[in-house]
Amino acid sequence: MDYQLLEVENGKPIKMWTQDVPVEDEARKQLIDTARMPFIYRHLAVMPDVHLGKGSTIGSVIPTQGAIIPAAVGVDIGCGMMAACTTLLATDLPDNLQALRTAIERAVPHGRTMGRGRRDEGSWDTPPASVDAMWAGLIEGFTRITDRHPCLKNTNNHKHLGTLGTGNHFIEVCLDEADRVWFMLHSGSRGVGNAIGSHFIKLAQKDMQQHISHLPNRDLAYFEEGSQHFNEYVEAVGWAQDFARRNRLLMMQNVIAATRGVIAKPFGASVEAVNCHHNYVQRETHFGAEVLVTRKGAVSAQKGELGIIPGSMGAKSFIVRGLGNKESFCSCSHGAGRTMSRNEARRRFTVADQERATAHVECRKDADVIDEIPMAYKDIDAVMHAQRELVDVVHTLRQVVCVKG
């Protein structure tokens, strides 16, 4: 076996691809709670970047039949990665990369500013024509959802399309083993996806009000298949996942355009591109049965399928090809995985630590990004070794520019 087996009393077993990587006790308990839900199909699959999450454990693959857990998908619905390989080489980049980082920061709204009378710099003031055109393909589905759930109408939706966000979301310029230039970015369904996730988590808890005390955790409240809210959630989460994919596509287009404004040499950026979710749910067939597969911080790794596994800020990242490992429900990790909370990272590290850890990267080096310091994450090499039966590495990327929200 290339995984560790954890038997669960009164539940399904847990198969963990975590050899030589740390797994916190709180994450194990959370996994065991989920494995005891009566509709889990066969077993849980746990990726090497596993760590404690809200609702369900990040880095877990949760197959279900007859029910769906909104908190397992979470509120960053459709969060994922996109990468594009260009025809540029490292020698085509300017010696000083600050101008390139600044151009990307201008082209893609990022971060968040809140306050009475203040515009959020992380959203568009007036969305450009490209955003309007992309939103036109989403408005019909959004209208159907908000007709049933009016509270979702006045959310950040149109003005968040094509924007980065905060936290661990990023845009990077990377070099591969042949010194080719890649663009890579990480984001999801932004404010509207958060609103959809939060709304349906509360609905599930309300629907189960009489039985919620019997659950291991109230965040494991679920919708039964065939119920009204089950069907409405499936439609809403599918729409949010589509929003997230389009959001990444728009950002990538703007990153490429911004780079062309800095680098005079003509280049192509359609040599190879990957766009994959790692917080989502979809119907799939496994072991001959149709199941709902929720990947909470995990990437689909069907045989031959390309995916992205980013390291922490300042570490390596990987373009991978899935091996179609059936026991993992054809999945792999979505990154390195945190070893400590954001608050703990801020307590433990300083700006000087951040500067040393990211000395080779053109990026912000201030107190607001200490929580993303590489030392707050697991060793990406250990994570990749633990999942060597899940994916093959196609390209190894190293960051030279990083834009954080």
Q: Looking at 334, 360, 385, 395, which residue is catalytic?
A: 334
CA distance 22 to 299: 20
SS3 41: coil
Partner residues linked to 15 by β-bridges: 5, 45
235 is in an annotated binding site: no
Asked whether residue 60 is marked as a ligand-binding residue, the answer is: no
**According to the annotation, is 278 in a ligand binding site?**
yes
Tell me how crowded residue 260 is: count the other CB atoms within 10 A of its CB. 14
Q: Does 279 show up as a binding residue in the annotation?
A: yes
- Asked whether residue 334 is marked as a ligand-binding residue, the answer is yes
Residue 336 annotated in ligand binding: yes
158 appears as a binding residue in the annotation:
no
310 is in an annotated binding site: yes
Residue 311 among known ligand-binding residues: yes
334 among known catalytic residues: yes
312 is in an annotated binding site: yes
Q: What is the 3-state secondary structure (H, E, C) of 220-234?
A: HCCEECCCHHHHHHH
Say if residues 220 and 204 touch (Cβ distance below 8 Å): no
**Phi, psi angle pair for 296, to nearest 5°:** -100, 95
- 43 annotated binding-site participant: no
- Rounded alpha-carbon distances, angstroms, from residue 57 to 100, 113, 168: 37, 29, 17
- Annotation-wise, does 149 bind a ligand? no
Does 82 show up as a binding residue in the annotation? Answer: no
Residues annotated within the binding site for GMP are: 168-172, 278-279, 310-313, 317, 334-337, 404
Residues annotated within the binding site for Mn(2+) are: 76, 169, 186, 278
Active site residues: 334
Residues annotated within the binding site are: 76, 168-172, 186, 278-279, 310-313, 317, 334-337, 404
